[in-house]
Structure 1
C-alpha cells in the first residue's frame, strides 16, 4: 500500500506554511483537503486543517521526523473545497497567516467534533428529547437552552437559539451527546424556513426577552389563513442576511 502524507496548517497560529504528517492506514480514506485533524506539535496536541494529500514529500532535512496524524475530528471535512480555496486566497492576498484565517472561518476550532448537525447548509431545528433533564444539568448555558426549548414547545430553530444564547454550540454538542436534544434538518414548506410539520395557520416566531426571566420566549402563534399566506411570502425576505 502506498504511503500517504498530508500537509496540515495548524489553526490559530501565525505559521504561514503547512506541516507534513503521515496518514496512518487506519485513517486511509478519511483524511481529505478540508478535514480537521488532531496532530502533535512539539510536545503538545494541536488541531489543524488539511490543505492537500499526496503520496510523496518535499525535500526535507534528515533531522525532521514525520509524525502520523493522531485522528480525524469530524466525520466529513469541516471545510468544503470552495471555502478552503477562499481561505487560501485570503491568506495570500492579505498576507495573513493561513492558520488564523481558518480560525476566523470555523467558529469553534477545538478538538470537539462539529458534526453534520451543526454545520453545513440547510435550516436546522433543535428538538428537546428529555424535557426533565434541566434539573440535573450543572451548566447554566445548558439549562438556558433547555428552558428555551420548553417555552418554544419542544422545538426551535438553531439560528434562533444562537441569537438568544451567546456562543451556545459547545453546550449544544454536550446536550446532543447526552441524548437530551437532537439537531435535525427539517423539511420545510416552500418559501418558508419553519417545519413542514407545522399545522396550517401556525408559525414559530421569536419574541422579546421582557418578563421571561432574562431569556426570550418562542411560541406557536395561531394565524388566520390570510396571515399564514402573508408569513409564507415574507419569511424568506425577513430571514435574508440583507434584510
Structure 2
C-alpha cells in the first residue's frame, strides 16, 4: 500500500508458512475478481456449505476442478445443485505455481530455501487442480480447521481479495495455542506447506470497509489453490 510508514515484508510465520504482502497488483486483483464473479454464477455456483452436524458455514463457497464438501471431494456439486463442477483453468493453476516460487524462492524448496527433494522429484506435485473460493461478508468467520482431504503434500496457496481479515495460523496438533494472527489485505499471498501443511488455521474476523476503493468489492474473497493427488476424480 502506498504511503506505508513501515512497508510490509515477506515473513515466515512458521516453518513452511510464508506471508507475501501485496503479491497481486491492482490489475491482477481485478482480473481475479472478475473471474470469481463468473465462477459464482450457476450452475455449480456459489452456495452455502452445511456441516454434518446440521450447522452452516458463514462464508459461502464455489469450487473449481473438484467440489469440496465436508469432508471430501466429488465431481459434482453434491451439496448444491448437483451440477458438474467447473473446470480448473490452466492460468489459475499456473498462478499457484508462481505463488509457490514467490513464497519459497524455488518450486521444490521450503520456506528457508532448502530443496524439498520429495516435491522437487515429482513435478505433478505442483499441478494445482482444485480451487476453493470463499466469500466472506462482514459477519462471516471460519473456524480453525485443517486442509486434510487431499493426498498430495504440495503447499496450499491462499490469495486474498477485498476486505482485510485476521488470519489465524496455528499448529498441527490442535485448534488451540500456539497460533499467530496475521492481517491479510487485498492482494496478499499466504502459502503453507512442508511441516506447516496440516496446520490448523481459520479466520476469526473480517474488517468491513477495508477493501481497496478501486476494486469494486464489498466483503472478502479468498481463493485457495490445492493439489488433490487423488489419482483421478472421485465419484
- Fold shared by both chains (TM-score > 0.5): no
Larger Cα-atom Rg: 1
Of structures 1 and 2, the one with the larger relative CO (CA 8 A, separation 6+) is 2
Structure with higher helix content: 1
